[in-house]
Amino acid sequence: MTTPGSYDIEALRAEFPILQRTVGEAGAPLVYLDNTATSQTPDCVVRAIVDGYTRTKANVHRGVHTLSQEATDAQEATRRRVQTFIGAESHEEIIFTRGTTEAINLVASSYCSLLSPGDEIIVTVMEHHSDIVPWQLAAERHGLRLRAIPLREGTSELDLDAFAAMLGERTRVVAFTAVSNVLGTVNPVRRIVDMAHAAGAVVLVDAAQAVAHERIDVRAWDADFIAFSSHKMYGPTGIGVLYGRRDLLDRMPPYQGGGEMISHVDIARSTWAELPFKFEAGTPDFVGIAAFHAAIDWLERTGIERIAAHEHELLVLAESLMDELPGVRIYGRAPGKCAIISFLMGPDASAYDIGMLLDQMGIAVRTGHHCAQPLMHALGVAGVARASFAAYNTADEVHRFVDALRRIHRIFRL
C-alpha cells in the first residue's frame, strides 16, 4: 500500500481493529473518511477502557478503599496530562465535561449570567451549532445581543475588517472555532483573540477540529476558554475538556448542582467546592477519562505535526484528483486549510445521493448541513458531502474514494 507520511502507516493501521471491517452488500473494505465527526480509536485506548471496567471500577472522590483511590488517581492523572498537553498553568483550570458542546454550554450559561442586558456576544457564521445555540439561549435569558462575523466576500475566510467594526464597548464575549468543520479553514486564533481582548472581551475558542491536527498551546493562543472533545482525538466518546482561566472560573457560578461540586450543603443554601470540582457535578465518566490519557499519549507518540503533514499530503492528492472531475465543486479553499473536503457534484446529485452511493462502495463520508446551517445559508446550499482525513488514511484510500466519485459521475452523467 502506498502512502505519504513519515510513519509506518501499516503498523499504525494495525492498531485500529475497526479498519479491518468490510461494509455493504459487496463486502467492500471500509474506507473511513468521516473523521471530522469522530475519529477511530486505537487498541491501547480500548484496552484502557477495558482495564477500567475490569480492574479499577469504583466511584471517584468518594471512597477510602483501594479501588476508589486508584480510579481517582487515574482520573486526576488525566487532568494533569491534559494540563501539560495544552500548556495550562494549573490542573485546576481543566474541567471535564461530556464534550465540546457541554463545555461551551457551561461557559454560556455560567459566564453570561454575570453580564447585563444589552451586552454583546460575537460568534462567526462558520460556527458549529454547538457554538451558536448555547449563546442564543444565554442571550434570550439575559437580554444580550448575538452577532456573527461574516465570511470575506468570495473566500472561505472570516472577514476580520467586519469583525473590527463590530467590536465595541458592549462586546463582552467572542466565541469562534479554530478550524471550520465544513470549510477546513484554520482561523488566525491569536489575531482574533488579541482584537477581542483589546476591546475588553473574553474569548472562547472552539478547538474541537483543531486539537488532533495542531498543537494547542494555551499561552500562544492567550484564549480565556478553550473547548474540545476526546472522541475527535482518537479517544473515548462522552468526554470533553473546558480549559478556563482561573480568575474567570473563580468568578463564575456553578453550571450544574449535585455530587462533589459542593463544599457544604444546608437546606437553605450551599457553598461550592474549589476548582475544578465546582464545575463537575455528578459522577463523571471516570473510566473514559482515565482512558483519555492513553489517547493523548498515543497522539503525542505518533506526533501531531507528523499526522498533520500526512493528512495534508492526502488532502492535496484528493483535491488535485477531484479537480480533474467535471462538475465537482469544493467548498473551502483557504490557504493552509485542514484535511477536510466539503463538496457537491453537478446539479442532480444531492449530498445525500453522494453519501449513499459512496457507502455502497464501502466509503464513509458525512452529508447534510454538518450542524452549520448559517454557513450553509452563506454558501447558498442545503448541504454538502464531506470527506475528512485522519492519521490512518492512505493514498490508496484517496484513489478508491476518487474512483468511486468517477462512478457516481457516470451514474448521474454529470
Q: How far is the CB of 208 from ligand PLP (least distance, A)?
A: 4
**Which residues 6+ apart lie within 8 Å of 294 measured at CB?**
44, 45, 47, 48, 235
- Nearest approach in angstroms of CB 200 to ligand PLP is 25
Q: Residue 3 or 36: which CB sits closer to ligand PLP?
A: 36
Residue 330 CA to residue 321 CA, distance in Å, equals 12
Beta carbon of residue 292, minimum distance to ligand PLP (angstroms, whole number):
13
Question: Rounded distance, CA 40 to CA 46, Å?
Answer: 10
Q: Which stretch binds ligand PLP (CB under 6 A): 48-56, 72-80, 98-106, 382-390?
A: 98-106
- The site that binds ligand PLP (CB under 6 A) totals a number of residues, namely 13
Residues 356-375, interacting with ligand PLP (CB under 6 A): none
Strand 31-32 relative to strand 363-364: parallel, antiparallel, unpaired?
Answer: parallel
Question: What minimum distance in Å lies between the beta carbon of 39 and ligand PLP?
Answer: 11
Would you give the end-to-end CA distance of the chain in angstroms? Answer: 31
Q: Whole-angstrom Cα distance, residue 263 to residue 277?
A: 10
Is-contact 189 178, C-beta < 8 A?
A: yes
Q: Binding ligand PLP by CB under 6 A: which of 3, 83, 101, 394?
A: 101
Q: Is 35 in the site for ligand PLP (CB under 6 A)?
A: no
Report CA Rg, the chain. 22
Taking residues 194 to 223 in sequence order and writing x for each that binds ligand PLP by CB under 6 A, - otherwise, the string is ------------x-xx--------------
Q: For this structure, is 371 an active site residue?
A: yes
- What's the burial of 336, exposed, middle or buried (CB within 10 Å: 0-12/13-18/19+)? exposed
How many residues are given for the chain?
414
CA distances from 77 to 260, 289, 296, 313 (A): 18, 9, 12, 35
> Whose CA is closest to 294, among 78, 2, 28, 35?
78
Q: By CB under 6 A, is residue 100 in contact with ligand PLP? A: yes
What track of x and - describes contact with ligand PLP for positions 42 through 81 (by CB under 6 A)?
----------------------------------------
Q: State which residue, 149 or 328, has the beta carbon closest to ligand PLP.
A: 149
What is the footprint of ligand PLP within residues 136-195 (CB under 6 A)?
177, 181
Query: Which of the stretches 55-63, 96-104, 184-192, 261-269 binds ligand PLP when contact is defined by CB under 6 A?
Result: 96-104
Q: Catalogue the active-site residues.
A: 371
Report the interface residues with ligand PLP, using CB under 6 A: 37, 99-101, 128, 130-131, 177, 181, 206, 208-209, 229
